[in-house]
Amino acid sequence: MKLNKLAIGALSLGLGLASVQANFIPNQGTQGYTVIHLTGSTAFRGATFRAVCNALGGEAACNVAAYNCSAAAAVPAGYVQEQTAKYHGIYGTLPGCGVVLVKCAWSGSEAGYVDVCTCASQKENFMEDTEPLGDVGSPIIATTAPTLALVSEGAGVNGELDLAMADNSQAYSRSKGLGIGNSYAVGVIPFVYSKNAQISGEGAPWSEVNNITHPQIRNLIKSGYIDAATLTGNSADAGKFFYLAGRNYNSGTRANHLLNAGLAISFAERQITIGGSDGAPTKSATSNANLAGQDSGGTLANTMSYRGSGEASPAWWAIAYLGVPDAVGAQQVNAGGGPVILSLAGVTESTAAIQQGQYSYWGTEYISVSTCANACANTLYNTLTANNTSTAAFDAAITANLEIALGSMACTKTTDASDPVHN
């Protein structure tokens, strides 16, 4: 009886530890596995995470870790928190390959193309193999960063940059013309313009700006700011300025923003970076350096939630371009409601408006595999694209109102720079 009590106590202790720790560290000595490195689009990471998990038998069958996640309160409806992570580790069995550890580092679409097009030399930070994963069915979900290591061991070595997601085609990327293994369109990613949050009762010109047009966007891109009167049509607003806040040149959201405005992705977009905090936002000087602008769409959306720029002296306001999950997430978590989404040329963003070609700020999502990808990475690519014949794997991973299935589109952009036309 005494032994039984001890056994029950030990068992309880063990279960308690398990529920707290739920750690699993891959071990090549115990179970050999192949590492696959996946990078690229931050805007489409939620759908990609789900598609990869599905390819490995579903998230519940995998050991998963998700780091740098958005706060639980900022998770858009339809997502689980791990879909908002910047770094993922997904360990499971890939049919046709065996046990794999898929490491994801979402660095931006343009950075992803650079990675897979220069895979023999390019380096990117991924989670280390020794970073703990959750037990099967119990993912580790953290808002903090994991331990990272640069990965680049050259072609054919278990450590190369294998796969990348992008919100634009390679033909409209800064890696145009460089060698790539394969590429396939798998979905549609919507974007929005927004103005930054202000205190309750904020008046003109902020309250009058609810829409933006393409000429106004070009004005913002080229100057880095626009006179408020040009947005509102009210002469009393002249001499007050809205500044452009955006992403750096690694971003596919930025690439589509430039293309949608009729400009090349090489255009020297001028923009500010918002700093400070809610109630006391600050803005940097405008800059058009390639790496000026936010590295992450989530960070940009969060800074657009900082209220008070309209009360600063001199007052200023900001307009930003965002992925829908980031914009919606920032609206949910911030007391002031977060960034306020603007209509574009009089059209409010919606799945139906995009599907019918009424709303133009969206990108076609691509998955690409590098020329130095390992066999398992190619197997994963072929699984997700059915050997370049189907988008079914991504269709099943898409969340309504955040991403759109390619097959559901009733319009087409002939190229990334084209206007949408009805099919």
Partner 1 sequence: MKRINKMALAAIAATALAASAQAQYISGNNDLLLGFTTTASTGDLAIDLGSFSSLPSGVDLNTSGNTGFGSDAALKTALGQNGLSLNSLIWGVVGGNAGNAPASYNIYSTVAHGVAFPHLPAAGIPIAMGDVDTLGLSITSGRSAIVDPTLGNGNSVTEVMHNAGGSALLQTDWTDPTTTTSGTFSSGGTQYAVEDLYYQQKGQVGGTLEGTFTLGSDGSFVYNAVAVPEPATFGLLGGFGLLLLALRRKLIPGQS
Say how far apart CA 274 and CA 295 lie, in whole Å: 13
Instruction: Write down the least CB distance from residue 221 to partner 1, Å.
Output: 7
CB 190 within 8 A of CB 204: no
Q: Name the nearest CA neighbour of 165 among 73, 295, 44, 345.
A: 44
What DSSP designation does 61 have? G
The number of beta carbons lying within 10 Å of the beta carbon of residue 399 is: 18
Q: Name the nearest CA neighbour of 369 among 104, 119, 196.
A: 119
Instruction: Write down the least CB distance from residue 285 to partner 1, Å.
Output: 7
Quick check: 263 binds partner 1 (CB under 8 A)?
Answer: yes
Largest Cα span, the chain: 88
Instruction: Write down the least CB distance from residue 182 to partner 1, Å.
Output: 23
Task: For the chain, give the number of residues.
Answer: 423
Quick check: 291 binds partner 1 (CB under 8 A)?
Answer: no
Binding mask 171-210 for partner 1 (x = CB under 8 A): -----xx---------------------------------
**What residues numbered 238-257 form the site for partner 1, per CB under 8 A?**
241
Select from 3-11, 195-203, 221-229, 374-382 the region that touches partner 1 (CB under 8 A): 221-229
**What residues numbered 56-75 form the site for partner 1, per CB under 8 A?**
none
* Binder of partner 1 out of 34, 109, 219, 303 (CB under 8 A): 219
Between 24 and 225, name the residue whose CB sits nearer to partner 1. 225
Question: Quick one: 419 exposed, middle or buried, by C-beta within 10 A (0-12, 13-18, 19+)?
Answer: exposed
Select from 38-46, 204-212, 220-228, 400-408 the region that touches partner 1 (CB under 8 A): 220-228
Instruction: Write down the least CB distance from residue 262 to partner 1, Å.
Output: 10
Query: What are the structure tokens assigned to 419, written together?
Result: 């206007």
Quick check: 290 binds partner 1 (CB under 8 A)?
Answer: yes
* Binder of partner 1 out of 153, 227, 278, 295 (CB under 8 A): 227
Phi, psi angle pair for 293, to nearest 5°: 105, 165
* Binder of partner 1 out of 158, 286, 299, 332 (CB under 8 A): 286
Complete DSSP assignment for 362-402: EEEEEEEE-TT--HHHHHHHHHHHTTTT--HHHHTT--TTT
Say how far apart CA 242 and CA 224 lie, in whole Å: 9
The number of beta carbons lying within 10 Å of the beta carbon of residue 12 is: 10
Tell me the sheet residues that pair with 88: 66, 104
Between 52 and 272, name the residue whose CB sits nearer to partner 1. 272
* Binder of partner 1 out of 224, 281, 338, 363 (CB under 8 A): 224
Instruction: Indicate left, alpha or beta for 30 from its phi (over 0: left) and psi (-120 to 50: alpha).
Output: alpha
Instruction: Write down the least CB distance from residue 188 to partner 1, Å.
Output: 24
Select from 286-294, 333-341, 354-362, 386-394 the region that touches partner 1 (CB under 8 A): 286-294
Select from 144-152, 217-225, 275-283, 389-397 the region that touches partner 1 (CB under 8 A): 217-225
Q: Name the nearest CA neighbour of 197 among 183, 188, 207.
A: 207
CB 62 within 8 A of CB 53: yes
What DSSP designation does 327 have? H
Between 286 and 348, name the residue whose CB sits nearer to partner 1. 286
Instruction: Write down the least CB distance from residue 250 to partner 1, Å.
Output: 15
* Binder of partner 1 out of 288, 356, 382, 401 (CB under 8 A): 288
Residues of this chain that interact with partner 1 (CB under 8 A) are 176-177, 219, 221-225, 227, 230, 241, 263-270, 285-290
